[in-house]
Amino acid sequence: MNIECLTVGPFQSGCYIVWGPERHALVIDPGADAQAILACLDAHGLDTACYLLTHGHIDHVSALAEVSAKHPAPYAIHALDLKWAFGPLNRLPPYYSDTRRPAGAFRTLADGQTWTDGGMSYAVIGTPGHSPGGVCFYFPADRVLFSGDTLFQGTVGRTDLAGGDGRMLTQSLRKLAQLPPETRIFPGHGPETRLAEEFRINPFLKRP
Ligand SMILES: [Zn+2]
Ligand SMILES: [Zn+2]
């Protein structure tokens, strides 16, 4: 599995482009800088199998309409975040004002699902707390987790935004703590880390 990490937009969001031998990519959290995302797809000769959204916040979805216009593919998001992700409530001027709904089909994600796209299988782990429909994507064959704004290097996502819930975030972190300690973690902001390292440095993550 190949992983390209792009840091996009004013909030330095992590957008990840993931692909296997089939060269059909998963684009995770196309948050901004559509041209950079398209250039990365082109540079590797990829088309898009699916757009995966860890949650609905504008800094993770704002380039989706523009990127998917060039590389049409379904987008996948939890129903609780789909409700507001492409509406005026999600605008954040002056940083983000484009909340256009993408033209393509969508797929609703739920905890416990397993999907296969572009020859890669992954599990959807429901991780509400930072947002009501937050999810993480776990690729068991490679032991890789895309953790969105649930878990960062050394810390966790804030729970004081609309729909945030600290108690739910604690439960979500307990689920992530069950993954193999060697799991590589690619968060929604900041550098890559590993679960074993987070047990050591992250005060919010408890070993099961
Ligand atoms: Zn967020
Ligand atoms: Zn974010």
CA dihedral 162, 111, 86, 157 (to 10 degrees): 40
94 against 199, higher pLDDT: 199
* pLDDT of the residue at 121: 98
Architecture of domain 2-201: 4-Layer Sandwich (3.60)
The confidence score (pLDDT) of residue 150 equals 98
- pLDDT for residue 151 is more than 90: yes
Using DSSP bridges, classify how beta strands 106-109 and 75-78 pair: parallel, antiparallel or unpaired. Answer: parallel
Separation of CA 172 and ligand 2 centre (Å)? 17
Strands of the sheet with 24-28, listed across from one edge: 2-8, 13-19, 24-28, 47-52, 75-78, 106-109
Q: Which ligand is nearest to the CA of 158?
A: 1
Ligand 2 centre to CA of 49 (Å) is 23
Model pLDDT, residue 97:
81
Could you tell me the distance, in angstroms and rounded to a whole number, from the CA of residue 21 to the centre of ligand 1? 31
CB atoms within 10 A of CB 201: 11
Q: What is the pLDDT, as a whole number, of residue 109?
A: 98
Q: Render pLDDT for 87-121 as a digit per residue (tens, 0 to 9).
A: 998 999 899 987 889 988 999 999 999 999 999 99
| Ligand minimally distant from the alpha carbon of residue 152 | 2
Q: Using the mean position of ligand 2's atoms as its centre, give its distance from the Cα of residue 32 in Å.
A: 11
Residues 170-186 have a mean pLDDT of 98
pLDDT, averaged across the chain:
97
Determine what percent of the chain is predicted with pLDDT higher than 90.
94
